[in-house]
Structure 1
Amino acid sequence: MKEKGYNAYLTAQKQFDHVADNINLDDATKDLLRQPGKEIHITVPVKMDDGSTKIYRGYRIHHNDARGPAKGGIRFHPDETVDTVRALAMWMTWKCAVVNIPLGGGKGGVICDPREMSLGEQERLCRGYVRELSKNVGPVIDVAAPDVMTNSQHMLWMLDEFETIYGGHYPGAITGKPVGMGGSLGRTEATGYGVVYTLREALKVMGIDIKTTNASIQGFGKVGKYAAKLYQEYGGTVVAVSCWDIEDKKSYTFKNEKGLDINALERISNGFGTINKEKAINELGCEVLEGDEWIKQDVDILMPCALENQLTTETLKHVSKRVKVICEGANGPTTTEADEIIQKKKIFMIPDFLCNAGGVTCSYFEQVQCNTNYYWPLDEVLEKLDRKMTDAFHEVYNLAIKKNLYMRDAAYGIAIKRVADAVKMRGWV
């Protein structure tokens, strides 16, 4: 259940303002960092399979690039808004800073529904998007990646168009590409795995054995699915998973009190994370509930891994008293008002731009591999990812303990200081 009138950008600014005031950030730096540095609004005409032409609206927004080229995914979604993209670009700046990789924050989006487009139409949209943005993106300017309802094939089409325009090979211009075409092993699962790496460390400092815990997860796309798989590998029990049903155009929650078989669920889901209801019931013995039931489960851990604005003052009324940890696999799933309630309930919060930073971290690894034209084996990628996420978690946690801060505020404090230092060293303020 989303909160009516929710604006992700206003939430991002409120979160920033709260911490900026607490760390006494000067007015000029605060004014610079609370808004995007550059916005590009485009229209992309696409020839449809039926011979008609449809015009799609798209965006690419750079929040800040003081620490390195802008970095951020491209979302294809029918409900995309410019304010959502602004917020996500801002969160990308903090995400790159909190895990201390040399990149800035950017984000892109197109208002479309790829689930209702043919592959040919999707390809033409991808290529048109890059043509419109070609002078404002690239390996040393702004590096795109997959996000909601985009994948490695979309990225390869975009890269091919970019390379066609500039007449050379620039594999570092876009990340999240297919393995063998400049992509990195581990990139597909990186965001979800990063969620669980941080969860593992949180449970350690709380003195809880992960094997004794259970969880409910919202989303069965790239983030939720791989978070569920690794959590299950570590011995945790996934009680419920929610997903969007393409045909019914609504979400459902799939539940098994004894634990879901995530690998079996994966086999009966499609590329967009929609789980086949009939097979889930008849073959796997799942209960199928309403989509918002995931948040009402009597579990130890909640993992919102879908879209923003899911944990609100209203939905928190349904959260079990048993919940000990919230892992924000999604970007911006919690409103600022809900944060206050979570703090009072003393639920351990792993904030989004720390929790889900595994994706951009592995994208950075992909850039490094592309630049050297040498690609690492999977175990090396995952070992480096684990170390990076673990180090970032403990840096945030240690600051939170030292200064008695909410984990989100501690993460913001570290990230904002790093970016503020960069803009000051560059002489921008």
Structure 2
Amino acid sequence: MPAPLISLTWTDHVTGTEGYLVVDRLVRGVSSGGLRMREGCTLAEVTGLARGMTMKEALHFDTDDVRARYIPLGGAKGGIDCDPRAAGAYGILVRYLRAMRPYVESVWTTGEDLGLSQDLVDRAATEAGLVSTVQAVYPLLDDEAAARRRLADAFAVTVDGIGLDELVGGCGVAESALVALDRTGLAYGDARVSLQGLGTMGGATARFLSRAGLTVVAVADAKGTIANPAGLDVESLLAARDAYGTVDRGALRDEDRELLADAWLAADAEVLVPAAVSYAVDAVKQASVRARWVVEAANMPVLPEAEALLARRGITVLPDVVVNSGTNAWWWWTLFGDIGADAEEAFAHTRRSMRALIGRVLARAEADGVTPRAAAHALVADRLPVMAERFGWYR
């Protein structure tokens, strides 16, 4: 693939902390991709994530749907090498956004990612002098004021105490897993799930899978793994989380067990959902996996060598570029007006779109005799030239 259009490293003049911005591709002059903050974040990591965003956008481009108002954008990503819990983290975030202001104003639309909440990003963006973190897309809207109201209204929607913006991504991840179960004929009530991460994406995924009838037998957070072969009380765990997705152990039942951090990998479950950090499953750790499907809710959680070894053992990885693309798509479906600020409409549209997309990827994988990731790459390779012909790289 070609080199990114923009790749830069920023150094904070106060702390020496480094941050990165990579714009992989522009479509109609704009790119899309979140901003993460984690200690150890690298330019190479952000580059891979930006390329993944190009793929996610392309996968949601339906060349035949002339009714869709949302036309996918290019891919980008931002990253800051800092622990988001550190005392000076917020100041670093503000200074980073202030430095990136010309890009956010013109070519890069962004939002929350690993280590950051949307509320925090929005507050820092305001302090940095930005109108919005998605203002670069405003010139593409038919009615900017109405679109901004619609998105703000959607972010104000909550369902059983959790914001709609947190839930739609998990809805898409859950639907991807359900499609895999459907294709093999496994009843939802006979499927068990183990998740790493009970934050924004992991928590929402756990809720949707649990409500679909699957049994969540293990979840891992910063303190370790919580397990119960008979099933965890997902709603109680969600209610006992802090802002970083760590569960208050005082909420556990007598039959729930506390295990080591990596115990989630070896859980006796059909579905494994890494929903926390990148590079969680390497060539060594993959040997512990007993699940039939690994559903990548996080970005880049399974390393390529690990995925190849899993495939040899008959374990299918449903790739992040497909599985967790629902959150990004929901932003644009809402802003462009394909859906309104309504939870049921958002869930229905997400389920329908994700079910069609993951089904198309799995069918292509079966037809070509390749992995779902390779099938997703093939679909992207088909669509990018069409996007370039219609919209160009820059205009």
Q: TM-score band (shorter)?
A: 0.7 to 0.9
Q: Which residue in the other structure is 1:214 paired with? A: 192
Does the aligned pair in 2 maintain the 1:39–1:60 contact within 8 Å?
A: yes
Does the aligned pair in 1 maintain the 2:196–2:276 contact within 8 Å?
A: yes
TM-fit CA distance, 1:66: 3.6
Deviations for 1:293-342, whole angstroms, at most 9, x for unmatched residues? Answer: 1111111111111112222221122122xx22110111111122222222
Task: Show the 5 A alignment for 1:345-360.
Answer: 345-360=313-328
CA distance in 2, matches of 1:135, 1:237: 47
Answering whether residue 264 of structure 2 is matched by residue 303 of structure 1, we say no
TM-fit CA distance, 1:419: 1.7
CA distance in 2, matches of 1:178, 1:58: 32
CA distance 1:166–1:304, shift in 2 (3 Å): closer
CA distance in 2, matches of 1:178, 1:41: 34
Q: Which residue in the other structure is 1:203 paired with? A: 181
- Give the AA of the match of 1:131: R
| Structure 2 spans left out of the alignment, 5+ residues | 62-70, 139-146, 158-163
The partner residue of 1:290 within 260, 265, 273 is 260
- Give the AA of the match of 2:166: T
CA distance in 1, matches of 2:151, 2:122: 10
Q: Which residue in the other structure is 1:187 paired with? A: 165
CA distance in 1, matches of 2:173, 2:281: 17
CA distance 1:42–1:298, shift in 2 (3 Å): same
Deviations for 1:68-106, whole angstroms, at most 9, x for unmatched residues? Answer: 621111111112111111111111111111122511111
Task: Show the 5 A alignment for 1:371-410.
Answer: 375-410=340-375
Task: Show the 5 A alignment for 1:149-298.
Answer: 149-161=115-127, 164=129, 170=135, 180=152, 183=155, 185=157, 186-245=164-223, 252-277=224-249, 279-281=250-252, 283=253, 285-298=255-268
Deviations for 1:33-91, whole angstroms, at most 9, x for unmatched residues? Answer: xx32211222334xxxxxxx534321111011246621111111112111111111111
Does the aligned pair in 1 maintain the 2:28–2:391 contact within 8 Å?
A: no
CA distance 1:343–1:42, shift in 2 (3 Å): same
TM-fit CA distance, 1:254: 0.6
TM-fit CA distance, 1:155: 2.6
- Give the AA of the match of 2:248: N
TM-fit CA distance, 1:242: 0.5
- Give the AA of the match of 2:259: L
Does the aligned pair in 2 maintain the 1:171–1:182 contact within 8 Å?
A: no
The partner residue of 2:18 within 49, 57, 81 is 57
Does the aligned pair in 1 maintain the 2:83–2:89 contact within 8 Å?
A: no
Q: Which residue in the other structure is 1:130 paired with? A: 97
Deviations for 1:163-218, whole angstroms, at most 9, x for unmatched residues? Answer: x4579x94967x99997477374221122211101111111111111121101111
TM-fit CA distance, 1:161: 4.3
Q: Which TM-score applies when normalising by structure 2?
A: 0.85
CA distance 1:179–1:111, shift in 2 (3 Å): same
CA distance in 1, matches of 2:391, 2:328: 24
1:288 is paired with a residue whose SS is: strand
The partner residue of 1:105 within 75, 78, 83 is 75
CA distance in 2, matches of 1:207, 1:176: 43
2:335 is paired with a residue whose SS is: helix
- Give the AA of the match of 2:36: R
Deviations for 1:204-261, whole angstroms, at most 9, x for unmatched residues? Answer: 111111121101111111111110011000010000000113xxxxxx0111111111
The partner residue of 2:114 within 141, 148, 166 is 148
CA distance 1:130–1:391, shift in 2 (3 Å): same
| Structure 1 spans left out of the alignment, 5+ residues | 1-29, 46-52, 246-251
2:123 is paired with a residue whose SS is: helix
The partner residue of 2:35 within 67, 71, 74 is 74
CA distance in 1, matches of 2:211, 2:43: 38
1:146 is paired with a residue whose SS is: coil
CA distance in 1, matches of 2:356, 2:256: 38
Deviations for 1:377-413, whole angstroms, at most 9, x for unmatched residues? Answer: 1111111111111111122122122222211111110
